[in-house]
């Protein structure tokens, strides 16, 4: 079975994961990619349902993502935000004028009884995205953090407080009762499943919420295709600031080794950075090495190809 | 009692009425003007509570109205609308990026239990408007039109269908059970009330909803200050297109005379255009004449001064 022929399922958070998701999307044939997005960061703000990771993935796959920030839309304007501030509205979560359309239309459709998955599929269709982009669940799961200031909602911690409070514990409220999206489980059981990819997103804030859903770990184990995990850390530096800070606060060394250990038993192949070859050589696991920072579009495609080649053959 | 010393209460719809409201606002001392806005055009769109006349008045008094259209904000951008269209959202009602902040913040505050009046007062405070701008009622009143296509909601008729369907009848749904805003009735009973102004708005679509609220006509009659009505028609041409079409369909001549007759018994002074002097000379009523088209800011102030001078002295 070739990784470039069958179905690929990628688990992803926002910015870091979206880079690899885009690489996979660009090299795979149409309709060969299912991207399962973390919705643990979803929240209601100004009365609007906001799904940050779904949106980052949607904009990235549609080629309308803001290249400079990694989140939001390209060529965004900020008149809504300026007007909202002038009226005394909450401005700690920056909503661009174009981005706002996604939240307003999603909220309207949810209120009309449509599912988050169906709405996302319609947005993908409208924006010409042929990958299947799925929320991890239709049920609410909310990542919360126990900090020195008490329990904080994710966006409060992450955006309003800029990840400043020290984190002691993480919980995924609602996860135990949430069902994984039916399309996610269905994809994992597909006979043409070629690979399952754990994108280089924050393991604790982006991937664990997905893995915490009942049945997901079992379905990953039962799937006939190999699981390839990509490290979000290279040379003891996380690609994104908050990952390193969070890992330290959780008592973990900021190192690919910590991620590998965290994902132990879950993956068949682990892709780490060249810089970490020595550190990881002691492990028995199937670890491969490459330059895994994805700066250019070529990097994204190169890592995607490598991931799929690792996934070739049965488990 | 001088019209420039006491309190002035102006009843107004959107664009036409807002011109005179601005004139009054500019010549009166701070906190001497109460503007009561029609909310019969309010509606829920994309899950947002939209109050078109309140907003036109808010933006006009704050000096941030779009000069070219008469509605919406100055220097508006339209990225939300473009993005919404790309997602397949409803685009018949044009919401500018800055304007959207008003609707989102108002909807959020309403959902949190604040009243429309309190929200409007806060917006005025934030935007530096010292007039008291009031919704005519906190209760929902919805202007509906019986047309050849059946009953239509106001915005459906006015915006989506561009006033094309012929109107046979108008109703103000909810008016019989709605209470006028307490601040409105309180203002009408103030001992320092100097004048009540019926702005040159559409009598049927903007002023009648206010007059249809229980107790309003009685309170206007009981008030110690004179009522001055300004014609929205000059020389058999309405200042705004829909007024003329609507009047014809309701079987009325498009003439200041029709408005004067419609308001009979309500006003103490009627201000009409010079062009209509001959036509209106047959009336016994206190009719005054001037060039009443308000094109410049000077026109607005000139008419406002004239209106207040007509209102001088007791009834």
CB A174 within 8 A of CB A207: no
**Chain A residues lying within 8 Å of B50, measured CB to CB:** none
Nearest CA distance, B308 vs chain A (angstrom): 32
CB contact (8 A) between residue B80 and residue A80: yes
Mutating which of B83, B91, B123, B124 best tests the A interface, going by the most A Cβ atoms within 10 A?
A: B83
Chain A interface includes B1 (CB < 8 A): no
Nearest CA distance, A116 vs chain B (angstrom): 14
Between B99 and B14, the higher pLDDT residue: B99
What does pLDDT average to in each consecutive run of 10 residues of chain A (315 residues)? 72 94 96 97 96 97 89 94 97 95 98 98 98 98 94 92 92 97 97 96 96 97 95 83 86 92 94 93 87 95 96 69
Instruction: Look at residue A314 in the predicted model and tell me its pLDDT.
Output: 57
**Chain A residues lying within 8 Å of B66, measured CB to CB:** none
CB contact (8 A) between residue A123 and residue B99: no
Domain ranges of chain B: 7-49+116-310
Alpha-carbon distance of B55 to B14, in angstroms, equals: 8
Instruction: Look at residue B313 in the predicted model and tell me its pLDDT.
Output: 61
Q: Pick B98's closest partner by Cβ from A83, A111, A126.
A: A83
Sheet harboring A269-273: ordered strands across? Answer: A132-135, A33-37, A7-12, A193-198, A227-230, A269-273, A287-290
CB contact (8 A) between residue A80 and residue B98: yes
Q: CA torsion, points A48, A49, A51, A56, in degrees to nearest 10?
A: -40
**Chain A residues lying within 8 Å of B84, measured CB to CB:** 101, 104-105
Mean pLDDT, to the nearest integer, of B163-178? 95
- Nearest-5° angle of CA A103, CA A27, CA A303? 90
CATH class held by domain B7-49+116-310: alpha beta
Alpha-carbon distance of B305 to B290, in angstroms, equals: 12
Alpha-carbon distance of B128 to B121, in angstroms, equals: 10
Between A160 and B12, the higher pLDDT residue: B12
**Chain B residues lying within 8 Å of A126, measured CB to CB:** 86-88
CB contact (8 A) between residue B97 and residue A102: no
Alpha-carbon distance of A275 to A239, in angstroms, equals: 14
Instruction: Give the residues across from A197 on adjacent strands.
Output: A10, A228
**CATH superfamily placement of domain A7-46+115-310:** CofD-like domains (3.40.50.10680)
**Chain A residues lying within 8 Å of B77, measured CB to CB:** 77, 79, 97
User: Residue B70 pLDDT > 80, yes or no?
Assistant: no
Instruction: Give the residues across from B193 on adjacent strands.
Output: B7
ipTM of this model? 0.90
CB A215 within 8 A of CB A255: no
User: Residue B260 pLDDT > 70, yes or no?
Assistant: yes
Q: What is the CA radius of gyration of chain B?
A: 19
Mean pLDDT, to the nearest integer, of B201-216? 96
CB contact (8 A) between residue A98 and residue B76: no
Residue B14 binned pLDDT confidence (cut-offs 50, 70, 90): confident
Name the A residues in 108-137 with CB < 8 Å from any B CB.
108, 111, 122-123, 126-127
Chain A interface includes B77 (CB < 8 A): yes
Find, in chain B, the residue whose alpha carbon is nearest to that of A123.
Answer: B87
CB contact (8 A) between residue A77 and residue B100: no
Instruction: Look at residue B298 in the predicted model and tell me its pLDDT.
Output: 97
CB contact (8 A) between residue A83 and residue B102: yes
pLDDT in tens, B291-308: 999 999 999 999 999 999
What's the residue count for chain A? 315
Give phi and psi for B164, each to the nearest 5: -70, -45
CB contact (8 A) between residue B97 and residue A77: yes
**Chain B residues lying within 8 Å of A73, measured CB to CB:** 83
How many residue pairs from chains A and B have C-beta atoms closer than 8 A? 106
Mutating which of B45, B101, B111, B123 best tests the A interface, going by the most A Cβ atoms within 10 A?
A: B101
Nearest CA distance, B136 vs chain A (angstrom): 22
């Amino acid at each position: 079975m070739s990784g470039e022929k069958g179905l690929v399922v990628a688990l992803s958070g926002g910015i870091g994961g979206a880079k690899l998701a885009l690489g996979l999307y660009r090299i795979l044939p149409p309709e060969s990619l299912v991207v399962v997005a973390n919705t643990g960061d979803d929240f209601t703000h100004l009365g609007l349902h906001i799904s940050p990771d779904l949106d980052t993935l949607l904009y990235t796959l549609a080629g309308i993502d803001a290249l400079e920030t990694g989140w939001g839309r390209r060529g965004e304007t900020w008149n809504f935000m300026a007007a909202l501030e002038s009226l005394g509205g909450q401005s700690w979560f920056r909503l661009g004028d174009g981005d706002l359309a996604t939240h307003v239309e999603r909220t309207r459709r949810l209120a009309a009884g449509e599912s988050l998955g169906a709405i996302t599929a319609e947005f993908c269709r409208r924006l010409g995205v042929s990958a299947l982009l799925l929320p991890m669940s239709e049920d609410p799961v909310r990542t919360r953090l126990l900090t020195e200031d008490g329990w904080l909602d994710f966006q409060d911690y992450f955006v309003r407080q800029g990840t400043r409070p020290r984190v002691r514990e993480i919980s995924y409220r609602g996860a135990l009762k949430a069902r994984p999206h039916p399309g996610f489980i269905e994809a994992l059981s597909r006979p043409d499943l070629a690979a399952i990819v754990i994108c280089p997103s924050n393991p604790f804030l982006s991937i664990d919420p997905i893995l915490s859903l009942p049945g997901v770990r079992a379905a990953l184990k039962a799937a006939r295709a190999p699981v390839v995990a990509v490290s979000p850390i290279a040379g003891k530096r996380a690609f994104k600031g908050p990952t390193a800070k969070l890992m330290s606060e959780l008592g973990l060394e900021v190192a690919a080794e910590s991620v590998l250990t965290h994902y132990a038993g879950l993956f068949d192949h682990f892709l780490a950075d060249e810089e970490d070859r020595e550190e990881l050589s002691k492990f028995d696991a199937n670890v491969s090495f490459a330059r895994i920072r994805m700066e250019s579009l070529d990097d994204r495609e190169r890592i995607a190809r490598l991931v799929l080649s690792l996934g070739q053959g049965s488990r």
